[in-house]
Amino acid sequence: MKITVNNLRKTYDGKQVLSVDSLEVKKGCITGIIGPNGSGKSTLMRLISGIEKADSGTVAFEDKKASEETWKGITLVFQKPYLINTTVYENIAYPLKLRGAGKDEISRRVETMLELLELGSIRHRNARTLSGGEGQKAALARAMVFEPQLLLLDEPTANIDPKSIYIMEKAIRHINEKVGATVLLVTHNVRQLKRLCSYGIFMNNGSVEIQGAVGSLFEDLDNTPMGSFISEEFII
Amino acid sequence: MEYIMEGFKEAFKLLLSFDSEVYGIFLLTLYVTLMSTVISTIIAVPLGIMIGLKKFKMKKALIRLLYTLMSMPPVIAGLIVYLILSRRGPLGELQLLFTPAAMIIAQVTLVTPIITGIVYNSTRDRGESIRQLAHTMGANKKQAFALLIFELRADLLGAIVSGFGRAISEVGAVMLVGGNIKGHTRVMTTSIAMLQSMGDYSQAIAIGIVLLLISFGVNSILYHSQQVN
Ligand SMILES: Nc1ncnc2c1ncn2[C@@H]1O[C@H](COP(=O)(O)OP(=O)(O)O)[C@@H](O)[C@H]1O
Ligand SMILES: [Mg+2]
């Protein structure tokens, strides 16, 4: 699902935190957004997902304005996902139940997700008792289970262990390659961007400074915001 | 000391003899309290959720008023309803004063703000993230509301049980608008107050024991609902 953003603005408490003149996200690809803290990455994701309204500007999917129908094919996994107060299994089954799927289909799809994200052993645990990494994986499984056309991920692998990061990246590639979902993810990790994404977006101070093939983000780094962002990234 | 022991003995005898006057009081109390709790719940749950989720003008003022009403003394609620229902009041023609209906109205006035306030608090804390999740999952409005109710289920139960507890234990409001008429509007709290003033301790103790048992049951439910969270 192609995303086209035009003149998108958002202000909080009189302070403009987002101002994106023009942005295009390619259909069927994995695109990564990087940028310093507070540069508006999460705000952009919320506006694209429709959970929040922009002050002005437009977001279009396949050149159409978003509608009830479009939302059904778009999902966002939050930086801190909200898990329903029930089992891991029921959390993952939830979007399927909303769509009126039958028992057999639910069980088949949820099993596939439990296996893909290696959550089988905690399927009966209450989702509120999960660790950070387990919770992120459960939220990703829940977002992928209904095979959305567009998957928005806000720092899905922040603060989790390498094994879980590996599993989640494998799952993200799976839904992109096997299901054809367009993936737009925010990451603070340049190596993850290079590993996972074919296109990249660099945000700074609420605007998109660079967009294009991932390689293009790493050209002309001298004395640019991207250059200093990367050098700071490698200090840690 | 003696008369207290004597009172307890008499109280148990009274309870075991299934005295029709005493049991009539229990039944009327349960009827009035359950009715007022149900009506308050129907008003307060959607209202509390709406105030918690929506942004509107005067919201702050409304919440301050709500908090004030939550701690409204029962006699005040009773007085307001009394004035409205009294013969010269705006709803005097309905002739509801000194009927169980008047008692239900007074308790609804008292309990609705309590349930609304508690529901508002939990919706304010968690409602927005639940609404956002529902949206990202592709839920329609009805499905989003169902998820909200499911997620707040323990809080809602707690709010309703608190409302019930408040209704069954108050004297002032039902005394003013019900009048404690024997066989008609006499409930547990008003009869305890009356029996005490008459020095008839055994019946007061008997009713008191049952009221305590109900309170215990209500608080057990409340405790368990908090455990679920
Ligand atoms: N709900 C909000 N209310 C007020 N300010 C906000 C809100 N959400 C984000 N901001 C502000 O907007 C700016 C961008 O935030 P965000 O989009 O979360 O950045 P990022 O995800 O890139 O770290 C920050 O300065 C942040 O403090
Ligand atoms: Mg962020």
CA distance B103 to A235: 71
Residues paired with residue A61 on neighbouring β-strands, in sequence order: A3, A64
Q: Which residue has the least CA distance to atom 6 on ligand 1?
A: A12
Query: With contact defined as beta carbons under 8 Å apart, do A141 and A83 qualify?
Result: no
CA distance B36 to B81: 14
Residues whose beta carbon lies within 6 Å of some atom of ligand 1: A 12-13, 17, 35, 37-43
Of A32, A82, A4, residue with least CA distance to B136: A82
Task: Decide if pLDDT at A185 tops 70.
Answer: yes
Q: What is the pLDDT of residues B36-91, one digit of tens each?
A: 999 999 999 999 999 999 999 999 999 999 999 999 999 999 999 999 999 999 99
CB contact under 8 A, A94 and B137: yes
Chain A to chain B Cβ contacts (< 8 Å): 41
Q: What is the pLDDT of residues B170-201, one digit of tens each?
A: 999 999 999 999 999 999 999 999 999 998 88
Look at the alpha carbons of B75, B110, B29, B216 in this order and tell me if their dihedral is positive or negative: negative
Mean pLDDT, range A10-33, rounded to an integer: 96
Q: Which CATH superfamily is domain B2-228 in?
A: MetI-like (1.10.3720.10)
Task: Compute the nearest-CA separation of A167 from chain B (Å).
Answer: 22
Model pLDDT, residue A71? 84
Interface confidence (ipTM) of the complex? 0.93
CA A198–ligand 2 middle distance (angstroms) = 21
Task: Decide if pLDDT at A68 tops 80.
Answer: no
Over chain B, what is the mean pLDDT?
Answer: 93
